[in-house]
Structure formats: C-alpha cells, structure tokens
C-alpha cells in the first residue's frame, strides 16, 4: 500500500496495490497494522455508506467534542472530489483544505483525523461512498461549515448549476462563525 501525504498534516491518502488479470482483480481495502503505522491507533466503531447522483455536494460536516470523529473514506463506485478542512484550534493550517479524487478506478482512501470538516462532490453520474468512523454519530453534536465559504475557497469542479445540496448544507455557517475544535487527545 502506498501512503500519500497531503498538504494538511495528518490527512493521508492510502492507495492499495491492485492484483489483476483477465479474470478480474483483488486488493486489500484495509489493514489495521498498515493504517496504525501511518495514522496512529484508532478504533473504528461505525461504517456508513451513501449513494449520490452527479452534482451532489455533501458537507462540510463534523462533530463537536466530545463526539469528534476520524473518518477513513472511499468511493467504491463512481468518482468524488473528497475535501478535508482543518478546523483545529491553534492549528497553523486552520481554515486550509485539501481536495483529493477518490474513485472506483484509483481505489484510494483518505484518512481525516478528528479536527477536520469533511465534504465531497460527486463528479461521475453517481457514486457509492463509504466511511469508517472512529466515533458514533451524535445528532446533538452535528455541525458544519458552508460548502462555498470564500475564506476556504474550494473548487468543487462542478458548475454552480450542477450542484445539488440539502437544505441543511445550504444553511451552514461560515468558517469565521464556528468555534474551532479544541481536541484533548
């Protein structure tokens, strides 16, 4: 497995080695020992999966302490632009983001440790997106940042006419309106 560092310390891309022939292909989608070697020790407690059509933007989402989540994400079908935004209090990269293409073809996964807001845009006709989470979903601590905040400046690689958002995501606050996450561990 190849490990790719991003512009945000701690946010990593895992690219598996694929073995294939005329019968098909095989790859290890997750190895705890390899993950821990590069991302540290984390316990995954919940797996989520979503289906979305072209142009759907989901995010930017996170959970407030004490229910923060780390996420290991991948597109098992289709192609998405996956985005992490640093919202850690006192971080030298606070408010900066990284955007990575995750697809069924490149089979890459992105690790977002606690302290990062997360979102993705579906660039293909549709996509199935999977998350391994280190914390349970806690609706009382659910939070977000507006997808098009100019202070963050994400290029979602879609025209504004193509983008489809939930009512919740349309109403999220701007980055300067949130309280940065203070992580204790």
Three-state DSSP at 89 gives coil
| CA distance linking residue 164 with residue 22, whole number of Å | 38
Q: For residue 168, tell me if it sits in a domain.
A: yes
| Residue 137 is a catalytic residue | no
Beta-bridged to residue 98, according to DSSP, are: 84
Q: For residue 50, tell me if it sits in a domain.
A: yes
Is the Cβ–Cβ distance between 59 and 102 less than 8 Å?
A: no
Q: For residue 14, tell me if it sits in a domain.
A: no
Q: What is the pLDDT along the chain (185 residues), one digit of tens a residue?
A: 999 999 999 999 999 999 999 999 898 889 899 999 999 999 999 999 999 999 999 999 999 999 999 999 999 999 999 999 999 999 999 999 999 999 999 999 999 999 999 999 999 999 999 999 999 999 999 999 999 999 999 999 999 999 999 999 999 999 999 999 998 75
CATH of the domain at 100: 2.60.120.10
Chain centroid offset of residue 72 CA:
7
| From 42, 62, 97, 131, the catalytic residue | 131
Q: For residue 76, tell me if it sits in a domain.
A: yes
* The total number of structural domains that make up the chain: 1
| CA distance linking residue 93 with residue 88, whole number of Å | 8
**pTM score:** 0.95
| Residue 131 is a catalytic residue | yes
Closest CA to 50 of 13, 76, 29: 76
Domain containing 143 equals 44-177
Q: Specify the DSSP element, H or E, that contains 176.
A: none
| From 61, 62, 97, 118, the catalytic residue | 61
Q: For residue 16, tell me if it sits in a domain.
A: no
């Amino acid at each position: 497995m190849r490990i790719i560092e991003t512009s945000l310390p701690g946010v990593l891309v895992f690219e598996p080695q694929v073995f294939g022939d005329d019968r098909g292909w095989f790859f290890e989608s997750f190895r705890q020992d390899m993950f821990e070697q590069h991302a540290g020790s984390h316990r995954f407690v919940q797996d989520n999966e979503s289906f979305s059509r072209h142009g759907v933007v989901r995010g930017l989402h996170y959970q407030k302490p004490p229910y923060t989540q780390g996420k290991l994400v991948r597109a098992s079908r289709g192609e998405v632009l996956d985005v992490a935004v640093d919202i850690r209090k006192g971080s030298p990269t606070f408010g900066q983001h990284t955007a990575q293409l995750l697809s069924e073809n490149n089979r890459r996964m992105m690790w977002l440790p606690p302290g990062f807001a997360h979102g993705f845009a579906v660039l293909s006709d549709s996509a199935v997106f999977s998350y391994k989470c280190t914390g349970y979903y806690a609706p009382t601590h659910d939070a977000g940042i507006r997808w098009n905040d100019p202070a963050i400046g994400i290029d979602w690689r879609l025209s504004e006419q193509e983008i489809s958002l939930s009512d919740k995501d349309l109403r999220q606050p701007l980055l300067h309106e949130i309280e940065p996450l203070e992580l204790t561990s």
